[in-house]
Amino acid sequence: MPLRPRSVETRVAFRSGLAVAVAVSLYGVSFGALAVASGLSVWQTSVLSLLMFSGGSQFALIGVLATGGASAGVAAIAGAALLGLRNGLYAIRMSPIIGGPLARRLAAAHFTIDESTAVATAQSTPAAQRAGFWYTGILLFVGWNIATLVGALIGNLLGDVRQYGLDAAAAAAFVGLLWPRLRRRQPIIVAAAAAVIAAVLTPSLPAGVPILVAALVAVVVGATNLFGARGGDAA
């Protein structure tokens, strides 16, 4: 069956985009349930997934709100924004790949996340990279939002959080997001130090703030390249 190379590669991009979108969407269910458990309404949970569309930032926001409530709002926003910084770096990397008029690149912004960038940059041709980005981003956007709503409705039925261990599930979710990033010595040391600092400062600072102080470890180690082997690589 004679297929032009370009369409073969685009199909590969579509297949990996679809696989990633389905797998990642599934944890949208846990996000929805945990968001409701941490005090958001079903509406608020769905709007958050539609507008923010960045799993790490969303988990961080509800994590801080769960421990500190609405009075920890500033820390919650800061945590979500700091975790969203890496999307900005992905955008810089994706910008020449997306190409075209500025309007198209701005439309791409909302879909610029870990997964769409990873699938795009793994493809071999520029056309397949573009295809991989859009397929993954849009399929995941649809899947993530449906899964979030399903999870929120389930969470709403469950009621009391601690009884079902959902507060532990939130911690487990963060372990899952963190795990793939602990491949080298530098991030492992930063993670250990940040965890200790956040725990030690918890009794003396308002909820959410210890996490932001712990993040300073990353700035210090990153700026000086302490414990690092060689040049940095983005997440």
Partner 1 sequence: MSVWTIILLASVCVLGLKVVGYLVPPRLVERPTPARISSLLTVALLAGLVAVQSLARGTEIVVDARVPAVILAGVLFALRVPFVLVIIAAALCAALLPLAGWMT
Which residues, 6+ apart, have CB-to-CB distance to 194 below 8 Å? Answer: 214, 215, 217, 218
Q: Tell me the C-alpha distance between 125 and 123, whole Å.
A: 6
For partner 1, the closer CB: 131 or 194: 194
Residue from 77, 127, 138, 153 touching partner 1 (CB under 8 A): that is 77
Q: Which stretch binds partner 1 (CB under 8 A): 11-19, 78-86, 121-129, 138-146?
A: 78-86
- Three-state SS for 111? coil
Query: Quick one: which of 206, 212, 200 has its CA closest to 71?
Result: 206
Q: H helices within 112-207, ranges in order?
A: 114-121, 126-158, 166-178, 185-201
Distance of closest approach, residue 214 Cβ to partner 1, in angstroms:
4
Residues 4-23 contacting partner 1, CB under 8 A? 23
Q: Which is nearer to partner 1, 3 or 175 (CB)?
A: 175
Say what the alpha-carbon torsion angle 70, 76, 77, 78 is, to the nearest 10 degrees.
140
The tokens of 4 are what? Answer: 């032009």
Site string for partner 1, 113-152 (x = CB under 8 A): ----------------------------------------
Binding span for partner 1 by CB under 8 A among 3-11, 118-126, 127-135, 184-192: 184-192
By CB under 8 A, what part of segment 161-180 binds partner 1?
163-179
Q: Does 207 bind partner 1 (CB under 8 A)?
A: yes
CB of 213 to partner 1, least distance (A): 8
# chain residues binding partner 1, by CB under 8 A: 110
159 part of the interface to partner 1, by CB under 8 A: no
157 interacts with partner 1 by CB under 8 A: no
Sequence-separated (6 or more) residues with CB below 8 Å from residue 225: 232
- How far, in Å, are 10, 62, 87, 96, 234 from residue 108 at the CA level? 18, 26, 12, 12, 20
